[in-house]
């Protein structure tokens, strides 16, 4: 195995230096299952070899505009182009399984900075447990990667910052703002217990590397796990609701409209296929949607195609397994326009060759069987069982909305509102005071030096005293929010 690892590293590094295998796409590098390294070239995906990583879910990768790998992440660590742990890349409080692999379906997301002057900076978003280590108590964290660090292999230069005080479920995706630069980050809210979610979406606007707006949207169905994906044109969201939860709507596909200018989720549509679901992917023209399903009665697995060009959302089976429980895992739209999926072996089944291949839908824009489900598309290492994961990629190339949403730098003037609030004293041994002017109410989030929320408080007009006498010495950041608007942040120090 060491020889295979060495060969994989050599091939990768030779490609990075020579640029000879570059397909020039930011989605070129995939780790499939437990360490099977796949590279997309002009002729399609190529299996390169095994890399020393055990990541079964929650992964993300990003390449530069020349198709050269920059970083690969899962909720436990970030790796560089040599598949070594990146400088400062071991993530704290990871929610991991027994092999050190992630237990979160979409637990990581790597994004380029929207600031044109920060081309060497990447934004890592990851879902990690808090200091208790309990997987059900998960939060969304943001970290900054500078690719100029460590001789061009990159390093984390700004450690974790908790970007929202709510508990987070598994689903994490992003859509370009209508200005073609900034990002809408979309996640599911959760209750503080494992796999237990609420019926809310959280939508955050990220300008450069800063969250400047937070919005909440209620839904009909409370999802527990499964894949949340955005259409390539950014106008629709689809959510597969995993696990048999006892009623038909819990096994449904949820479809939503998404407004790239305002970040609004609307028009929830439930499509009950009466089958348990897990993975989903849109076709490149955003008119077809593919869903991996399991019949809870017969335990036969299938792939369902939805026609989104028809507002009735008709669907049909385009694949049905011939043996029990060969189930599609996650789906991913590849840089070549094909939809790829895995066939992880399920409980009660025997691993076979289906588990060790990357499979494809060759013509995903076509209707029905013409989409051509191609099993055994790409052979992986026969000794490695292909687990559920494929990289989590947003549409990096989505441009400005034709409706002309405007530049977020202008919107920031209305999002970051100066209401004249005060904090004093800024060095506080026992307590400090937050003071709001007449008619202003807000919510305060107080974070410690590593980004953990230590206190959350609803503030009314006038003075609110915050007791810090039991807090450890250090620096704390106090951020205020009002109806989704960011009111700014101030720093207080407890000596």
Asked if 138 and 168 count as a contact pair (C-beta separation under 8 A), the reply is yes
Asked if 4 and 49 count as a contact pair (C-beta separation under 8 A), the reply is yes
Structural domains of the chain in order of their starting residue, each with its CATH number: 2-379 (2.130.10.10), 416-494 (2.60.40.1930)
Position 440 pLDDT exceeds 90: no
Position 328 pLDDT exceeds 70: yes
CA-nearest of 34, 36, 23, 114 to 63 is 23
In this prediction, residues 469-492 reach a mean pLDDT of 80
Q: What is the distance between the alpha carbons of residues 446 and 426, in angstroms, rounded to a whole number?
A: 13
In this prediction, residues 227-246 reach a mean pLDDT of 82
Position 267 pLDDT exceeds 80: yes
pLDDT (0 to 100) of residue 224? 65
434: confidence class by pLDDT, cuts 50, 70, 90: very high
Residue 223, classed as helix, strand or coil, is coil
Whether the CA torsion 236, 143, 24, 403 is positive or negative: it is positive
Direct distance between the N- and C-terminal alpha carbons of the chain, in angstroms, rounded to an integer: 52
Q: What is the distance between the alpha carbons of residues 296 and 369, in angstroms, rounded to a whole number?
A: 24
Position 423 pLDDT exceeds 70: yes
> In whole angstroms, how far apart are CA 75 and each of 114, 141, 166, 361?
23, 10, 18, 28
pLDDT (0 to 100) of residue 345? 59
pLDDT (0 to 100) of residue 85? 92
pLDDT (0 to 100) of residue 479? 79
Most confident of 119-123, 416-420, 446-450: 119-123
List CB contacts of 16: < 8 A, sequence separation 6 or more.
Answer: 68, 69, 81
pLDDT (0 to 100) of residue 402? 73
pLDDT (0 to 100) of residue 279? 87
What percent of the chain clears pLDDT 90, i.e. is strictly above it? 36
87: confidence class by pLDDT, cuts 50, 70, 90: very high
What percent of the chain clears pLDDT 70, i.e. is strictly above it? 80
pLDDT (0 to 100) of residue 299? 64
Asked if 477 and 447 count as a contact pair (C-beta separation under 8 A), the reply is yes
Position 247 pLDDT exceeds 70: no
Most confident of 18-22, 246-250, 258-262, 480-484: 258-262
Position 385 pLDDT exceeds 70: no
Comparing 306 with 211, the larger pLDDT belongs to: 306
Comparing 180 with 363, the larger pLDDT belongs to: 363
346: confidence class by pLDDT, cuts 50, 70, 90: low
pLDDT (0 to 100) of residue 323? 66
In this prediction, residues 98-114 reach a mean pLDDT of 82
Query: Strands (DSSP E) along 105-227, which ranges?
Result: 108-112, 121-129, 138-146, 155-162, 167-176, 183-190, 197-207, 210-218
pLDDT (0 to 100) of residue 352? 67
Q: Which helix (H) or strand (E) holds 277?
A: strand 276-282
432: confidence class by pLDDT, cuts 50, 70, 90: very high
Q: Can you read off the two tokens belonging to residue 83?
A: 């598949």
Position 132 pLDDT exceeds 90: no
Comparing 274 with 494, the larger pLDDT belongs to: 494
In this prediction, residues 130-140 reach a mean pLDDT of 76
In this prediction, residues 471-480 reach a mean pLDDT of 85
Q: What is the distance between the alpha carbons of residues 433 and 68, in angstroms, rounded to a whole number?
A: 50
> Mean pLDDT in the chain?
81
Task: Give per-residue pLDDT as tens, 162-172.
Answer: 888 778 888 89
Position 135 pLDDT exceeds 60: yes
15: confidence class by pLDDT, cuts 50, 70, 90: very low
pLDDT (0 to 100) of residue 414? 43
Position 146 pLDDT exceeds 50: yes
In this prediction, residues 390-408 reach a mean pLDDT of 82
In this prediction, residues 44-54 reach a mean pLDDT of 86
pLDDT (0 to 100) of residue 5? 37
68: confidence class by pLDDT, cuts 50, 70, 90: confident
In this prediction, residues 327-339 reach a mean pLDDT of 90
Task: Give per-residue pLDDT as tens, 176-195.
Answer: 999 888 999 999 887 665 55
pLDDT (0 to 100) of residue 450? 53
In this prediction, residues 214-225 reach a mean pLDDT of 75
pLDDT (0 to 100) of residue 2? 34
Asked if 479 and 213 count as a contact pair (C-beta separation under 8 A), the reply is no
Comparing 453 with 45, the larger pLDDT belongs to: 45
Residue 369, classed as helix, strand or coil, is helix
Q: Is 226 left (phi over 0), alpha (psi -120 to 50) or beta?
A: left
**Which ranges of 345-430 does DSSP label H, i.e. alpha helix?**
408-415
In this prediction, residues 274-285 reach a mean pLDDT of 86
350: confidence class by pLDDT, cuts 50, 70, 90: low
């Amino acid at each position: 195995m060491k020889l295979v690892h060495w060969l994989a590293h050599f091939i990768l590094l030779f490609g990075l230096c020579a640029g000879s295998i570059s397909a020039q796409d930011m989605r070129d590098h995939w780790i499939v299952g437990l360490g099977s390294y796949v590279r997309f070239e002009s002729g399609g995906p190529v299996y390169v070899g095994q890399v020393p990583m055990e990541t079964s879910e929650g992964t993300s990768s990003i390449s530069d505009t020349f198709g050269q790998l920059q970083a690969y992440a899962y909720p436990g660590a970030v790796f560089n182009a040599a598949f070594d742990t990146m400088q400062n890349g071991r993530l704290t409080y990871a929610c991991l399984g027994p092999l050190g692999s992630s237990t979160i379906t979409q637990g990581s997301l790597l994004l380029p900075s929207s600031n044109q002057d920060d081309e060497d900076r990447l934004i890592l978003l990851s879902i990690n447990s808090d200091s208790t280590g309990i997987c059900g108590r998960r939060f969304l964290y943001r970290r900054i990667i500078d690719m100029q660090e460590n001789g061009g292999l990159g390093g984390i230069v700004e450690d974790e910052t908790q970007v929202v005080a709510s508990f987070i479920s598994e689903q994490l995706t992003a859509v370009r703002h209508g200005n073609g630069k900034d990002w809408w980050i979309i996640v599911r809210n959760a209750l503080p217990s494992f796999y237990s979610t609420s019926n809310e979406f959280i939508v955050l606007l990220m300008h450069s590397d800063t969250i400047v707006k937070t919005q909440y949207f209620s839904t009909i169905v409370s999802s527990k796990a499964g894949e949340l994906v955005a259409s390539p044109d950014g106008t629709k969201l689809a959510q597969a609701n995993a696990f048999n939860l006892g009623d038909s709507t819990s096994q449904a596909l949820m479809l939503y409209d998404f407004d790239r200018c305002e970040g609004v989720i609307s028009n929830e549509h439930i499509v009950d296929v009466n089958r348990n679901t897990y993975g989903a992917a849109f076709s490149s023209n955003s008119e077809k949607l593919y869903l991996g399903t399991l019949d809870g009665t017969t335990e036969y697995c299938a792939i369902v195609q939805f026609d989104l060009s028809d507002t009735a959302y008709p669907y049909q089976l385009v694949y049905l397994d011939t043996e029990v429980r060969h189930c599609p895992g996650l789906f991913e739209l590849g840089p070549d326009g094909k939809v790829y999926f895995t066939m992880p072996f399920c409980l009660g089944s025997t691993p076979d060759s289906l588990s060790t291949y990357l499979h494809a839908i060759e013509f995903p824009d076509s209707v029905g069987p013409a989409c051509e489900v191609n099993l055994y598309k790409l052979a992986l290492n026969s000794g490695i069982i292909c687990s559920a994961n494929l990289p989590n990629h947003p549409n990096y190339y989505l441009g400005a909305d034709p409706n002309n949403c405007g530049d977020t730098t202008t919107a920031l003037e209305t999002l970051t509102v100066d209401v004249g609030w005060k904090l004093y004293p800024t060095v506080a041994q026992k307590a400090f005071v937050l003071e709001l002017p007449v008619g202003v109410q807000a919510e305060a989030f107080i974070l410690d030096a590593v980004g953990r929320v230590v206190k959350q408080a609803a503030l009314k007009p006038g003075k609110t005293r915050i007791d810090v006498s039991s807090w450890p010495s250090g620096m704390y950041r106090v951020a205020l929010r009002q109806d989704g608007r960011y009111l700014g942040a101030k720093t207080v120090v407890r000596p």
